[in-house]
Amino acid sequence: MKDTELPVLKLRKGKEDSLDRFHPWVFSGALMHMPQPGEDEIEEGDLVTISTHDGRIVGTGHFQIGSIAVRMLTFSPDEAVDEDFYGRRLEQAWELRKALNLKREDNTAFRLVHGEGDFLPGLVVDVYGPTAVMQAHSPGMHFARDIIARRLVALKDAGIENVYYKSETTLPYKAQLDPHNDYILGHFAGDTAMENGFTFHVDWLRGQKTGFFVDQRDNRSLLRQYSNGRKVLNMFCYTGGFSLAALAGGAKEVVSVDSSAKAISLTDANVALNFNDGRHRSSAEDAFKFLDNMGKDEYNLIVLDPPAFAKHRSALRNALQGYRRLNAKAFEKIAPGGILFTFSCSQAVNKEQFRLAVFSAAASTGRRVRILHQMTQPADHPVNIYHPEGEYLKGLVLYVE
Ligand code: SAH
């Protein structure tokens, strides 16, 4: 039964169109009145009912202060958002991962919940063996964290025993929720996980995001196929995922670079867990400086996987320039017959813009370049077709003559 007590927020006339196409965001400007906590009887994170200006119920979502005022959880006027709601959504998310066969003896790391892609906007859950690392990006999900944790460990055959909550840096600072990173359920139970046969340390306590970038799994497998006999440079290596793939693929030599000394020690540790044959070196250095200082033709396989250059649309211009500069340096230095794996994980940069930035970088060096593969995020990061913004990872594999 639907909870009839929820506050109703009305849309301005004509603002229901995107919601009628199931886009899950309500912008503050679409509301007849943007509630002000303190003045109106509504707090950040509260559940609200959305209706059209003339009273038709559109669905239910989480309210928050900001340009995205409501993140829609359901478009069914009769569906209550209660503990069973979260339970059902998590079961559906787990059903999909089972279909993808991502939980295996040789693969224990995968994304279980990918926000809008799993119809749970504001929530991310990555699984590392018996531990789920959960991140709330909205106050509403923060308040639902205990329910979600309970339902995660209840998922049949998912094998989740511990839930670590890690939202200190993902929740809006102004909401003053003061979240603490800690176990909600269970306890520390080892910090290694497997990706396609390789063991990784996953540092969810101190690492970036949930501790590991599960979204590059398929692209690492592709790199492995190209690595035999090559001299590989893995820029922005973080925990060394691409370095391991290159070593596994028979690379002659692999050099990993990251500006963070912590990342370099994680990469070194992960290489040591899986290989011990002297083919790997690492360097804690700025990527741009490293590319400037290295010799021409030294490497014939280069990976560029930088952090998001544009966190917001306002930074788009600078971000595109950043991608252009970075890729131009790689095009200048890569050996003839070289292969470049180049990525952008900025949500604000779309596929076409990224391709244009790489294209103009290539043109500036005058080299002959062909596209071999166009890559995106793996299937455990599904894109809700009504929320195309969810497609954030873009990559190209290029053959450079
Ligand atoms: N390729 C990694 C993920 C990269 S995340 C993987 O497969 O897991 C981005 C990394 O870039 C972070 O580890 C960050 O420390 C590093 N970084 C950020 N700015 C940098 C810079 N200017 N030079 C080198 N590394 C940088």
Predicted confidence (pLDDT) per residue in 151-188, tens digit: 999 999 999 999 999 999 899 877 788 889 999 999 99
Residue closest via CA to ligand 1's atom 11 equals: 236
What pLDDT was estimated at residue 1?
A: 43
pLDDT at residue number 243: 98
Q: CA dist 236 to 121, 140, 308, Å?
A: 28, 33, 11
Q: What pLDDT does residue 175 have?
A: 77
Count the Cβ atoms, other than its own, within 10 Å of residue 105.
7
Residue 237 bears catalytic tag: no
The protein residue whose alpha carbon is closest to atom 1 in ligand 1 is 237
* Residue with the two structure tokens 């599904």: 382
| Ranges of the chain with pLDDT below 50 | 1
Two structure tokens written together for 293 = 């200082």
Distance 398 CA to ligand 1 centre (A): 20
Are 335 and 367 in contact, with CB atoms under 8 Å apart?
no
Cα 396 to ligand 1 centre (Å): 18
Residue whose CB lies within 8 A of the most ligand 1 atoms, among 221, 258, 265, for a mutation test: 258
Counting every residue written for the chain, the total comes to 401
CB count within 10 Å of CB 158 equals 20
Q: How far is the CA of 348 from the centre of ligand 1 (A)?
A: 18
* Ligand 1 binding pocket, CB closer than 6 Å: 213, 216, 236-239, 241-242, 258-260, 263, 286-287, 305-307
CB contact at 8 A, 297 and 336: yes
pTM, two decimal places: 0.95
Residue 3: predicted pLDDT: 52
pLDDT at 246: 98
